[in-house]
């Protein structure tokens, strides 16, 4: 399979993945597995080894994300079920109190101070470790940028599996760095994809904020 065809498949699955992420559809995790396989090949052939290894991590974290999102959906359904019962009781007593539901199947959480501090520590350690390995043991053309994007992506994808809304802001930083990396290696279609990702991540943050339910 040619690099151009693999990149095109990765592009298409990446766009579908993004749409599912914004709407918080569980299908997103299956698309991440497929996209991860495609981009693992693309990045390894381009010498961006940390980015290639990152795709393997995406495949693994997808399994964890499936169970975490199912757990969150069940919690959301329980909350809405209790609210529906309460609203039905109120509307029976006073019909003027009945309100349209306007439900959307999206939920999010905020990371605790401990999670944020631990994530910062992981970011520093992983960036330093990856940069050192890439500089000394591979032909990676931009080891520091590649390492930072990889470390940020590891944390952001974990935050996504936990439905932390700030994961969208982390993806903005990741996508900007990846655009720079991809363009430098003449992966122009991939560069376009990550430019789209950047703007979509901004939209995704505000979409979750406006339409989602904050869970504890």
DSSP of 71-93, one letter per residue?
A: HHHHHHHHHHHHHHHHHHHHHHH
Is 32:17 a contact under the CB 8 Å cutoff? yes
pLDDT at 4: 77
Is 141:185 a contact under the CB 8 Å cutoff? yes
Distance separating alpha carbons of residues 208 and 106, to the nearest angstrom: 7
Distance separating alpha carbons of residues 40 and 22, to the nearest angstrom: 23
pLDDT at 156: 94
Q: How many residues does the chain have?
A: 216
pLDDT at 99: 46
Give me the sign of the Cα torsion angle 189, 40, 167, 125. negative
pLDDT of the chain along its 216 residues, tens only?
Answer: 677 787 778 778 878 888 898 888 888 888 888 888 888 888 788 777 767 877 888 888 988 998 888 888 888 888 877 776 766 665 555 554 444 444 567 899 999 999 999 999 999 999 999 899 888 877 778 889 888 998 998 999 999 999 999 999 999 999 999 999 888 888 888 788 789 889 999 999 999 999 889 987
pLDDT at 118: 97
pLDDT at 93: 58
Is 213:76 a contact under the CB 8 Å cutoff? yes
Distance separating alpha carbons of residues 125 and 122, to the nearest angstrom: 5
pLDDT at 104: 61
Is 24:164 a contact under the CB 8 Å cutoff? no
Domain boundaries, the chain: 3-93+106-214
pLDDT at 103: 52
Is 46:185 a contact under the CB 8 Å cutoff? yes
- The values of phi and psi at residue 163, to 5°, are 65, 30
Distance separating alpha carbons of residues 136 and 24, to the nearest angstrom: 40
pLDDT at 95: 53
């Amino acid at each position: 399979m040619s690099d151009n065809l693999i990149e095109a498949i990765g592009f298409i699955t990446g766009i579908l993945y993004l749409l599912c992420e914004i709407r918080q559809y569980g299908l997103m995790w299956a698309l991440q597995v497929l996209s991860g396989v495609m981009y693992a090949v693309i990045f390894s052939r381009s010498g961006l080894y940390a980015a290639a290894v990152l795709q393997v991590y995406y495949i693994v974290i997808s399994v964890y994300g499936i169970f975490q999102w199912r757990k969150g959906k069940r919690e959301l359904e329980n909350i809405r079920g209790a609210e529906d019962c309460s609203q039905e009781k109120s509307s029976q007593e006073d019909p003027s109190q009945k309100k349209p539901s306007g439900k959307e199947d999206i939920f999010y959480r905020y990371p605790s101070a401990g999670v944020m501090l631990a994530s910062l520590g992981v970011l520093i350690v992983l960036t330093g470790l990856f940069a050192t390995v890439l500089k000394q043991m591979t032909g990676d053309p931009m080891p520091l940028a590649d390492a930072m994007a990889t470390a940020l992506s590891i944390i952001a994808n974990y935050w996504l599996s936990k439905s932390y809304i700030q994961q969208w802001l982390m993806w903005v930083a990741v996508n900007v760095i990846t655009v720079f990396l991809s363009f430098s290696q003449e992966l122009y279609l991939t560069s376009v994809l990550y430019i789209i990702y950047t703007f979509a991540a901004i939209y995704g943050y505000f979409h979750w904020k406006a339409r989602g339910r904050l869970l504890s």
